[in-house]
Chain A
Amino acid sequence: MKTEEFQERKLEVAGWPVNLASYRLGTEWHCEADNVSPGARLCRTTGATRQEAEEKALKRAKELLSRTRRHTV
């Protein structure tokens, strides 16, 4: 099998920039979310459609990013 319809886009989640990459492998859609800076992987999800995979990733990314604390420097 080959990766098909690979796409990447940046958006904001819970006040943080997020990079969302999604693609199809066979009949399953995959989505990966990272936090842009420094680019750490937040989650990887699957779904029957791109939308479903991305929605799951965004939900999980929001949960994780909402816990991030900014400290006064």
Chain B
Amino acid sequence: MDKITLTPEQLKELKFFIYARGFREPEVQAEILDHFACKVEEKLAKEPKLDLNTAMREAHAEFGYSGFLSIKASLDLSTRRKYKHIYWQEVKRILLSPLFLILILVLGYGVYEGSIWADVHKVYDLLGGNFVRSSIWLLMLLALIGKFITLKPSKKSNSYYMKMANSINTMPFIILWIVFPPTNPSKPEREMILRAVFFAFFVICFTIDYIASYKMLRMAEQDYKEFEEQQQQSLL
């Protein structure tokens, strides 16, 4: 049995066959293509009179009831798992960093002292509230907007890897941002401590989430770059 190698035109037909079955991301197509092409080549080598379309259909049938879907589902799962692992590894690294702990303590203390100072010196915002407290709200809002702007994937990097990385759920942190301690004007001291603790907590969650998301997305971008380079090489 002579070995058969598919021509670039035949490979294009294989790619179209995969694409037509709903597998449109080039990264997923590449994961399927080699195995599929090997099967088609073997069929054509065994029966030289077989036309390419029949060989493709027969090879596809051998993938079983779900066709290429099992490969894609498995790739999705492992890619997400990879990025999730990167994210949580980064979270762990930051949480164990002594420098980070010092920063949180300094920030919390700063907010607490700042709130007292603003009350004593009657430094109010436009609505008559404590200036430091309003600034905290504003800072949180700006930080959130900043996160979505800076970590928003560009059109160029909106690849399969980026989609998988973006699908990692970081909700636990977002929930923590929303929870705000209730105000109690009769106990201003307690309120200030609560706000200081909350602000420090927010900084912890936000910074960790930002850095971990950044690392995860950069890794996804790197994966895409490597994939693009490989793809370029295969087209030469």
User: Do they bind each other?
Assistant: no
